[in-house]
Structure 1
Amino acid sequence: MKQSFQAKISSKKFANALRDCGMKTELDRETVYDLVKLYSSEQEPIRDVRDRVIKLLNSQCRWSQQTVLTAAENSRDPIRTSRWLPVIVDGTMVLKAPNECRHSLDRILFSSQLPIFDVHHLSKDWTAQLGWDKIISKEILLAQLRYGAEEETTHVVSTVLAYMVSDWGISCADDLVDIAFVPRGNSCFMKPYQVFSPPKKGPSS
């Protein structure tokens, strides 16, 4: 169901009049839920949906303290789990949920594993509501690291490693043992044990 709203009403007089008529005067979580449901219904051309999604994400929303969600509620929140964000997959625009894609700003960390939602600017509030302020999973980072090494892309490898060390620390050390990520000249990568293992001793005379 579509709902009309005005993000900001400059005059309290008009705002009160609109409220008396049962109309919303600002964007809130419930209105966002209604819009997400509409966009995910696939009742409209997907390119039209993209234009509307971009406008929505550029709007300010009143995320009231009374509607702050717990971690468990966030994992089931329609904003994160409904497929309402248009992304390109294999050359075709499709709808994905925020937990199935990621903001283009961090694409170097996941581009081989997740679809990219391309938007020029996203506020901190919207980033948090979509769940994109959370640390990228270790599984995705390891897969992206392998991709960077296989493609011999030093920038990808170094960026992913820096992110993993910063956010995962020593807990990811064992996962790196069998990945060829150590540079060995000419963008070639080797596994850690191939580079740092002690040289074999020759036969003693």
Structure 2
Amino acid sequence: MRFGKIEYLNLAPFDVFSKRYGASSSFKKILSLHTNYPSKLNHEFLFRRIDAGFISSVVARPSHFKVKPLGLGIITEGEVWSVLCLEREAKSDYQSATSNALCKVLGLEGEVLIGDRALRYYHENKECDFIDMGKAWLDKKRLPFVYGRLCCNANEGFYNKMAKAFARNPKIFIPSYIMDVYAKRLGLKPKFMRAYLDNLYYVIGKKEALGLSRFYRDLRLKRIKPVKRY
């Protein structure tokens, strides 16, 4: 089994859960073998170099790709703090596929910045020379936004069971020693990082599915082509 891991703070709860999950010791070692930023993992997934992972929503369009979404995602209903459109010259973020598409769907012009780099920028720039795209989506659609989806293309039974176990108790407490590791790496205080994680949730229900449908519809209407093999 080959699991693709996004090394961002936004997946810290799932990371803690997966290491505690009743899988073999070999799977726990596998969790750290395929680690990268979202668009790189999209590439690995589409070429079947990994079996599963949180894949960008724009890649996980079930009408275009034979993937198996497993009911989990990276979701906010409002501010996200880590998906920003900066008031600068238009520029895509090489680390993201969904956020670049979301910027176009929202009709925004600027530089897209995502992930832990965006979170640091949000924390350090209080003059608000940016638009939080999670808030912009909610203001426009009144629905949550799903940035990535847990998908698999092999070992469906194992990953489906794992996803259901996480969905039953997604409020995972992250121990202080793990937050300290993130704090050292990101240069942020644990209190701020915990507040950021409070913006996020992970279980896709009816509202979240509707939000995905609206996003996919807008991609079609604006003729934003889905990501294919790179």
TM normalised by structure 2 equals 0.20
**Per residue, is there more strand in 1 or in 2?**
2
Which of structures 1 and 2 has the bigger CA Rg? 1
TM normalised by structure 1 equals 0.22
Q: Looking at both structures, which has the greater relative contact order when contacts are Cα pairs under 8 Å and sequence separation is at least 6?
A: 2
**Per residue, is there more helix in 1 or in 2?**
1
